[in-house]
Amino acid sequence: MPELRSLLAAATARLGERADAELLLLHVLQQPRSWLFTHADDELDTDVQTAFSALVERRAAGEPVAYITGRRGFWSLELEVTPATLIPRPETELLVELALQRLLPDAACSVADLGTGSGAIALAIARERPHAQVVATDASTDALAVARRNAQRHTLGDVAFLHGDWLAPLAGRQFDLIVSNPPYIEAADPHLVQGDLRFEPVGALASGTEGLDDIRRIVRDAHVHLHPGGWLLFEHGWNQGDATRALLDSAGYTEVFTAQDLEHRDRVSGGRRGG
């Protein structure tokens, strides 16, 4: 029987990515990553080997690791993801950080996350701000089911999930903070038909010819849903900082800004409802 070490080396060679091979093997074994270091010499039985090579072949055919394992880490949370949800990305943690900077740790506050997908942003905020009342919306009932399971799994405070497009389910309500990671890729971007993106819901990725259709709607519609002084913050593409600030300015937001991610690319813009 082959040792774990050699199985992993072969899978790494096949996939060109050791991290992917490890995640798939740990998923088959249902073990945490720390387990690998103390079990490299273990011999793995045939069932494990067969199951592992089936997953390696799915990955080799292009399927994202997160959809194969049904899991992805975001912030301090391990989240369930399915093909109904976007796979949470590390750069989106910037949006969470900027949101937390605007929410006092011990004060009651209200937050809306538009197009929550797996619930990543809403649940990270709920984890860090236990006094926050968080509402998350999504147009996909399948995505909302995943987000609800993620909320239950982590037994996080006050998070409600509502079905509908962007702000539609929030009629008559106002918030201290509205956040969103909307779709923002240009509809003709060739990346949409390459790599992992092929497997993700296109409605969560692409948004019209300039990628700005949904951001335009959110900027326009969010203003009346903010308390005076409340913030709108949203993620966008590296080349959309100027355009999104112009949208925020002309919709009457104040303190309009763009923040850059760890790779120094424009990533999140926002503004405040005047007092």
The footprint of ligand GLN (CB under 6 A) covers 89, 181, 183-185, 197, 205, 235
Environment class of 202 (CB within 10 Å of its CB; exposed 0-12, middle 13-18, buried 19+): middle
Question: What's the min distance (Å) between Cβ of 108 and ligand GLN?
Answer: 29
Question: What's the min distance (Å) between Cβ of 89 and ligand GLN?
Answer: 5
Q: Which is nearer to ligand GLN, 36 or 202 (CB)?
A: 202
Token representation of residue 107 = 């004060």
Coil, strand or helix at 235:
strand
Question: What's the min distance (Å) between Cβ of 14 and ligand GLN?
Answer: 24
Question: What's the min distance (Å) between Cβ of 117 and ligand GLN?
Answer: 9
Q: Which is nearer to ligand GLN, 95 or 103 (CB)?
A: 95
Q: Residue 145 and residue 35: Cα distance in Å, rounded?
A: 31
If we measure between CA atoms, which residue out of 3, 145, 140, 15 comes closest to residue 80? 145
DSSP letter at 202 equals G
Q: Which is nearer to ligand GLN, 70 or 90 (CB)?
A: 90
Per DSSP, helices labelled H in 30-73 are 35-38, 46-60, 65-69
Q: Residue 52 and residue 43: Cα distance in Å, rounded?
A: 14
Question: What's the min distance (Å) between Cβ of 189 and ligand GLN?
Answer: 9
Q: Which is nearer to ligand GLN, 48 or 182 (CB)?
A: 182
Q: Which is nearer to ligand GLN, 4 or 115 (CB)?
A: 115
* 225, 174 contact by CB (below 8 A): yes
* CA angle (145, 148, 98) in 5-degree steps: 120
Residues 6+ apart with CB under 8 A from 16: none
Q: Which is nearer to ligand GLN, 94 or 185 (CB)?
A: 185
Q: Which is nearer to ligand GLN, 100 or 185 (CB)?
A: 185
Query: What is 140-194 written as a DSSP string?
Result: -HHHHHHHHHHHHHTT-SEEEEEESSTTGGGTT--EEEEEE----B-TT-GGGGS
Question: What's the min distance (Å) between Cβ of 185 and ligand GLN?
Answer: 5
Question: What's the min distance (Å) between Cβ of 65 and ligand GLN?
Answer: 15
